Amino acid sequence: MKPEQAVMRVCLSPNERGSERHTALANVLQRHPERYVVSWEDPGIDATIGPLGVEFKEKADFVGSIFSGHLGNQRRQAKALEIPCCVAVLGSPLDVIEAIPTQGPNGYKDHKEMYRDIHRVIKGDAALFASGFPPMYMGSDYDIAMELLVARANAMFNNNIALPGVKAETTQEAMMRCLPRVGPTLSTEMYNAGIKVALVAEVIRTGQDGTRSTEFTVIKDPGLLRMVRGMGPKTASGIIEALK
């Protein structure tokens, strides 16, 4: 029987109530209402979805907030939450560039002015990324954007970092996943409990009297693996090292 998932708290700023972003987020959360507790209060930024803080930005708002310095204030508020936070930009990088105003106080901007503003946005993006408040370009589809955000928050909440296939964070875990009914969670628990997989060879020994006996030996010497056709010294050493 699959264990129940712990309840995750979702906190939304009242400013988000009734927005398209809120509607799309609610649609995702309502599929499994038993997994989430939603409250309307100001967390300092637009939302906290479990262990993930999110500041939502429409394309033009993202540009304006970089130019005005408002994102600097929001970055300070996000840092105070002491959890990973991001700026969820509802658009692509190209959408953001195309949202830069083409007119200024003195009329239409010339090529040099537009080039300067594009680089202001790029530098702002880089500064946010480097400071731990990275922009995540979610695209313009609200439904897909909220699916991604909730999935990321859930992966953080449950420490679910396993990728498809038998690959794992360690060779030992990957090997154990090949065992019947052993998945990512159980293989990690087995590894943490000190259980390991080892290579074993069937060795035939001949005594002085000519009798032969068979015994199973844990392979610790790369030289023993070299008996396998096509096994090179680097491969043999790498296998032994990975299984230590």
CATH code of the domain covering residue 87: 3.40.50.10130
Domain check: are 136 and 34 in the same one?
yes
Q: Please, what is the average pLDDT of the chain?
A: 90
In a domain, residue 23? The reply is yes
**Is 90 exceeded by the pLDDT of residue 94?**
yes
Residue 72: band (very low, low, confident or very high) from pLDDT cuts 50, 70, 90: very high
Domain check: are 57 and 142 in the same one?
yes
* Average pLDDT value for residue range 123-148: 97
Domain check: are 134 and 208 in the same one?
no
Q: What is the DSSP letter of 146?
A: H
- Condensed to tens digits (0 to 9), the pLDDT of residues 134-145 reads 999 999 999 999
Please, are residues 8 and 37 in contact by the beta-carbon 8 Å criterion?
yes
10 Å CB burial of residue 158 (0-12, 13-18, 19+) is middle
Domain check: are 233 and 151 in the same one?
no
In a domain, residue 178? The reply is no
Domain check: are 28 and 149 in the same one?
yes
Residue 1: band (very low, low, confident or very high) from pLDDT cuts 50, 70, 90: very low
Domain check: are 63 and 151 in the same one?
yes
Domain check: are 117 and 228 in the same one?
no
**Is 90 exceeded by the pLDDT of residue 171?**
no
Domain end residue (candidates: 157, 190, 221): 157
In a domain, residue 77? The reply is yes
In a domain, residue 124? The reply is yes
Total number of domains in the chain = 2
* Average pLDDT value for residue range 62-66: 97
Phi, psi of 209 (to 5 degrees): -85, 5
The residue segments making up the domain with residue 147 are: 8-157
Strands 103-104 and 107-108: antiparallel
pLDDT > 90 in the chain, percent: 61
Instruction: Decide: pTM greater than 0.95.
Output: no
Residue 36: strand pairing partners: 8
* Average pLDDT value for residue range 46-71: 97
* Average pLDDT value for residue range 178-204: 87
Angle formed by the axes of helices 59-68 and 70-80, to 10°?
A: 90
In a domain, residue 78? The reply is yes
Domain end residue (candidates: 157, 184, 217): 157
Of 204 and 238, more confident: 238
Domain check: are 13 and 111 in the same one?
yes
Q: What is the pLDDT of residue 2?
A: 42
**Cα gap 244→241, rounded to integer Å:** 5
